[in-house]
Chain A
Amino acid sequence: MSLATTINNLLFKRTSTFLLTVAACTFFFERTFDGSTEYLFEKLNEGKLWKHIKQNYEK
């Protein structure tokens, strides 16, 4: 049984497993996507955000 067959039988064949797969993938996708976009935003706005200039104003 090839990998494609295994994937099809386990994940895509039934609607329930398909949706479960989507839900599980969404969880990881959200984590990575949110994290990476947040990181990118902070990288592009280096030195402009409050948390970067906080130490200049707070004791």
Chain B
Amino acid sequence: MLQSTKLSSYVRTANQVISNNLKTAAPNAIIPKKLVTAPPCELLLNESLRHHQPIGKIVLKSGPAFSTQVRMAHTDIRVPDFSYYRRTEVMDPNKKSSDSREARQNLTYLISGAGVLGGVYSAKAVVTQFLSSMSASADVLALAKIEIKLADIPEGKSVTFKWRGKPLFIRHRTAEEIDAEKNVAVSSLRDPQHDHERVQRPEFLVVIGVCTHLGCVPIANSGDFGGYYCPCHGSHYDASGRIRKGPAPLNLEVPTYEYVDDLLIVG
């Protein structure tokens, strides 16, 4: 074995030979001493179990004076940095966020409001479309109208037509009847309606001939009040179709109608 002192002259020369621009070699890596541990034994018998059990007296202290907590989360978990997700207005933790609310919220709320607006508009359109599909179309409504020549109805007469499956009474009233109905005190009526609310032209009364009590057809020009009389349960209507006596709760119904010159169009 050579001694290091004898080698030193050779080593130096060797070092001088390679001392150019190249870096000197890194020192040798220190290889740690290999730690020899007992191989993990299988827990099979008392003997092997005993090595894994604590030795000596086990004392467990607890109570307010002793902290049994070994590891506290806040001590070693770092708070994540959310500044990438934050808006510039709320970057500073010492600023009140309510001070910058309008700057942050207005555009967002404006956009979402516009979205809701569109939704409401479309929902309304859909609902309207759906509902209007259930109502009668214009051609059906046109067929469901009835045209009546008023000149054919003599004064003092009540004529019955069939309109949408129901009897329609048209009464050409005399001047006395008109006067009498106009002067009836509205407060004395069960279903208070003045005569002018029920007729467009005072000479003609247009009502649906269905008793409001149980749906019988009243008889014209009869009853105590000179109008209509329901034979089923004895309801008396006057010459304006208003209930005056008997069980019916309401006046005879007035349909929507209009006059075109001398023509009456009901429906």
Q: Tell me if A8 counts as interface (CB < 8 A to partner B).
A: yes
Q: Tell me if A29 counts as interface (CB < 8 A to partner B).
A: yes
Q: Restricting to A13-55, which residues have a CB under 8 Å from any CB of B?
A: 18-19, 21-23, 25-26, 29-30, 33
Asked whether A23 lies within 8 Å of B102 as measured between CB atoms, the reply is: no
Closest to B125 in A: A30
Q: How far is the CA of A18 from the CA of B105 in the complex (A)?
A: 12
The stretch that binds A, out of B112-120, B132-140, B227-235, is B112-120
B121 CB contacts on chain A under 8 angstroms = 26, 29-30, 33
Q: How far is the CA of A5 from the CA of B100 in the complex (A)?
A: 9
Asked whether B101 lies within 8 Å of A8 as measured between CB atoms, the reply is: yes
The number of chain A residues touching the other chain, given as a range, is 10 to 19
Contact of A26 among B101, B103, B120 (CB under 8 A): B120
Q: Tell me if B109 counts as interface (CB < 8 A to partner A).
A: yes
Contact of B113 among A2, A5, A18, A33 (CB under 8 A): A18
Contact of A7 among B106, B116, B117, B124 (CB under 8 A): B106
The 8 closest A-B pairs by CB, nearest first: A8-B102, A12-B109, A4-B102, A26-B120, A22-B116, A5-B102, A26-B117, A22-B113
A residues neighboring B (CB under 8 Å): 2, 4-5, 7-9, 11-12, 18-19, 21-23, 25-26, 29-30, 33
Known pairs A4-B103, A8-B105. 19 more at Cβ < 8 A?
A2-B102, A7-B102, A7-B106, A8-B101, A8-B102, A8-B109, A12-B105, A12-B106, A12-B109, A18-B109, A21-B113, A22-B113, A22-B116, A22-B117, A25-B113, A25-B117, A26-B121, A26-B124, A29-B117
B residues neighboring A (CB under 8 Å): 101-103, 105-106, 109, 113, 116-117, 120-121, 124
